[in-house]
Structure 1
Amino acid sequence: MIDAVLPPEVAAVHAFGDLPPTDGGGLFPAETAAIARSVPHRRAEFTTVRLCARRALAELGVEPVALVPGKRGAVDWPDGVTGSMTHCAGFRAAAVARTDVVVSLGIDAEPHLALPDGILEVVALPGEKDRLAELSRRRPDVHWDRLLFSAKESVFKTWYPLTRRELDFTEAELDFDPDAGTFSARLLVPGPEVAGRRHDAFTGKWTVREGFVLTAIVLAG
């Protein structure tokens, strides 16, 4: 399902529930150590999303490796590979691509529900709030506040591997095309440089399917 917002050069695998820990080989010792103190629910989603990632890597012909979370949950992917993982209640997914085709990518999944009270005020800029209000009048079938949150998560997941710096929700301004299923993200801080080119904006895709909001950004090489 996540492949609906991804191009063919990205390998993606999703699951609607937690996979058995032994499915696909289970966890590497370093991964097990990373979640040793986690509650069972957290261990289950951690395991499933990594099994999804290893299946996606296999589609690229890459052998299984440990995917240990570092700062902000970012993992070091195998040489020559970039990727992203996401999980929410009832859904887990991973996407990977070769770095000679894709320099960075970010995916996010959220339940298609309104954001809890107070969250939109934290994540949205004034202009975004105005546009969301108009979009809600035009397409009331979409929880645009949740979509904004998800898209900004995808922005961060694309940004962070290239910069290893934090990016606040208010440091990127987003706009959505309700008909094309696309969005644009204008960075309000200097963008990352890749091969001598500065990226001050990202573009992505979004969809709502089977009760989930799905967003993705794929930054081509």
Structure 2
Amino acid sequence: MHITPVSPFQPQLPYIYRSMAFRPDVYQDSDFAYFNQPLPSKLQRAVAKRKAEYLAGRVCAAQAMQQLGLPHHVVQTGDDRAPIWPQGIRGAITHSKGIAMAVVTDNSNVLGLGIDIEHLMSDRQELELRSQILREDEADAFESLGQSHHRPLTLVFSAKESIYKALYGQVQKFFGFDAAKLIGHDSQQLHFTLTADLHPDLTKGTKVSVFYQYNDEMVLTECMHQQAS
């Protein structure tokens, strides 16, 4: 499988990242050995597209961690499907339709990172999925977002995915899209508030902000969870 460095976005979080383009249509199981990555037993029967996505994300993660002095660390997957990062490392992985990205840091103040790339939904998808992604009390903030941004539901969906990834390491349990409520936005960030107590340090009303940027095809969102000062 061809994996080629690309930079469709310049992440706004100040941490090490790697971004790659890959071609699932030419994937072979031998590609795991070529990139010095193990093929997880849970993926043995997966379709080629899923294997290719997984491999591309892990290659991004491995190359990013090399910049932190970890020459070759394999990021395994837990039973909860979350990546298992080395001690003292926080990171996140995302992939969407032939693009993969990973971001990592060894900053001890960072408790979690979340990134998400999504290709823009169609108008029909945004209409059909709105009730699954938005809370009723987000209507005003969402309408405001839609007045200045194309495909606003894609933005919110991606942002909530990034929030989940960033907070999960501390929360350690599943929480849905309704746990974060969009309350506003500016030119670089979407702003949310938690609607439930997820953890003693992540209580109802806690504010969470997510960087966003997009082009004609896709959006990148980034969320950082750090220790309270």
Q: Does 1:192 align with 2:202?
A: no
Task: State which of 155, 160, 184 in structure 1 corresponds to 2:168.
Answer: 160
| 103-112 vs 124-133, which moves further | 124-133
DSSP 3-state at the match of 1:120: helix
For the residues of structure 1 that align with 2:175 and 2:21, how far apart are their CA atoms? Answer: 29
Counterpart in the other structure of 1:17: 22
DSSP 3-state at the match of 1:78: coil
Q: Does 1:131 align with 2:141?
A: yes
Q: Moved runs in structure 1, 4+ residues, more than 6 A?
A: none
Q: Say how many residue pairs are matched.
A: 212
Consecutive unaligned residues of structure 2, counting only runs of 5 or more, are 1-6
| 47-56 vs 62-71, which moves further | 62-71
Q: Does 1:118 align with 2:128?
A: yes
Q: Quote the offset at 1:190 in angstroms.
A: 1.5
CA RMSD of aligned residues (A): 2.4
TM-score of the two chains, using structure 2 as the length reference:
0.82
Deviations 1:61-81 (A, max 9, x none): 123223222244201100110
Counterpart in the other structure of 1:207: 213
Q: Quote the offset at 1:3 in angstroms.
A: 6.2
For the residues of structure 1 that align with 2:216 and 2:63, how far apart are their CA atoms? Answer: 22
Q: Does 1:50 align with 2:55?
A: no
For the residues of structure 1 that align with 2:171 and 2:202, how far apart are their CA atoms? Answer: 12
For the residues of structure 2 that align with 1:119 and 1:113, how far apart are their CA atoms? Answer: 10
DSSP 3-state at the match of 2:10: helix
Q: Quote the offset at 1:52 in angstroms.
A: 0.4
Q: Quote the offset at 1:191 in angstroms.
A: 4.1
DSSP 3-state at the match of 1:152: helix
Q: Which has the higher contact order (CA 8 A, sep 6+)?
A: 1
Conserved 8 A contact 2:183-2:192: yes
- In structure 2, what residue type is equivalent to 1:5? P
Conserved 8 A contact 2:142-2:182: no
